Structure 1
Amino acid sequence: MGSKGTSPAERLVIIITRLNDGEALSKKELAEEFNVDLRTIQRDVNEKLAFLPLIHNNSYFRLEPSALGRLSPVDIRNFSELTGVGKLFPNLDTKFVTKLLSQVYDNPFTVKGYHYEATDLVRPNLEKLEAIIRTYKTVHFTYKDKQYRHVKPYRLVNSKGIWYLAAVDKDTLKAFHLLDMKHIFEQEETFEPNEVVLTEIEEEDGIFFNAKKFEVVVKVSKDIAEYFLRRSLFPNQRIIEELETGELLVSSRVATDKQILPLIRYWIPEIEVISPDGIKHDLLEELNNYLSRVAL
């Protein structure tokens, strides 16, 4: 079967199918077959196929015998829901999943998502913390040169392609960037998970946990209104009103100005801050500083 010129999605489907059929695959041979760099195949295996129970033996890898032939459309649908892409397609039922995976060539679908941080760097902390979370043990680690002890780890959260640990430190729910965590040790102390904390983690739009939020209201021009109507572009976005002019009044609830200012700057000049005055002042100050630096 000629595999050169396939898309990344097609390549993954082919690899998964062969693994599911019991084949032992060589990264080097796959790179030659698909006419891609060896590092591309390594990223496929270490990042995109990390959810599979793989056995690595010298230069080959294969699926664990207990998992052979057990990857069904239901498994794939469950994985899609877990990774947050379940709502990508209008209908992710078994019939659609089967049709999607069977169309390896000339597939009508292409999905372009976030750019993800290097998972090979995150993986050691990810695996270590996954094991600790399952035992309900507290954890000790160093984070940005500060020591943290008796921290209660709840969830590993991927937000916009970046991995974080959602954990309770001294009764406060916080997010710790995995790449900045060093010297992670499991402690003997155990804890009982709090359902309120779990709900907060699941419902929070991002990683700004347990923080007092404030409302930012902006006016969006008619030229870009469709983008805000199509999907949420701001944290905790809500459309307040669609004006007769075609403009929108949009509300966003954020924990810090750093959460919203970069997004507002992106849409300038098609967006205007209505409130609060502090955000408006900070934005104008940033723009004035920029203009003073680049003025001819």
Structure 2
Amino acid sequence: MKLERLISIIYKLLNHEVLSAATLAEEFQVSPRTIYRDIDVICAAGFPVVSHQGIHGGYGMMQGYKMDKSLLGSYDVASLITVLRSLSSVFEDKHVQKTIERLQTIEAEHHPPSLSVDLETRRTAPHVLAHLRTAITERKVVRFGYINADNIRTTREMEPVHLYFKYSNWYVYGYCRNRQEYREFRLSRMMDMELTAEPFQSNHAVPEGNGITGWSRTEWSDATRDTEEVVIRVQPEALAEALDQFQQLDREFHEDGSMTMRIQVYKPLEARWLWSVLLSFGSGAEVLAPTGLRSILREQLQKALRFYEEV
């Protein structure tokens, strides 16, 4: 504990011009007298600690003193700090914040960040992420309710292996005891998650490709053959929303300000996610092809209108 405190004090002194003994004592929950002894030990180890007198006095490192930067360049350090800051904000991890402080000591100069990463968590309760991370680290079973893509609600027990963020959503990959196979679950569809005290012993492997699971190579090849072109005419008032939703596509702009989009979709007549996106455009977009998709959207609109017949 003392060694960890000494190392942490060194990094804090490297990141701040002056820190008082009272501030350090409060940070590490020790007495000022203990901090004085720690400073003596740090000085004896060869670190150039300087004592500043006065009301705003305290301790700091000799001006110009820096740690060795030979292992990481400034670009590498800045990129690492950016990623770690985003993780720190999501998980509220004090250990990550300490790592950021250590990395900042090997930056040549402190510049305003030129890049930031916002791992959107509005769809996921923060405590769910924290509990799942704890479960993975401590190898504990989790229990939760889940609604799948077919809107069927079940209760699951899982041995979690890996958390990952893709397509603006958080997912967890692990061994589902109910299905007795590896599955991935979207956190936004998980309910009443419970971190149990039950440990699991299995050594689960983290999936390749940063957690992107799903089809095998053969199945993916079949899926590629089953894609169909969807043609959408987008009106000027819905251009921004359409481009936000469909970024990788062929598009053609017209003189009236509208746009025609062509996207390849796997089995569009079964892709409920696609129906939802297209219906969200309201009158701002019209599906031109395939005709079967037009019929499905018409049916969905008619069902929705029944809720408002008395309005």
What TM-score comes out, normalization by structure 2 length? Answer: 0.48
Q: Which has the larger radius of gyration?
A: 2
Scaled by the length of structure 1, what TM-score is found?
0.50
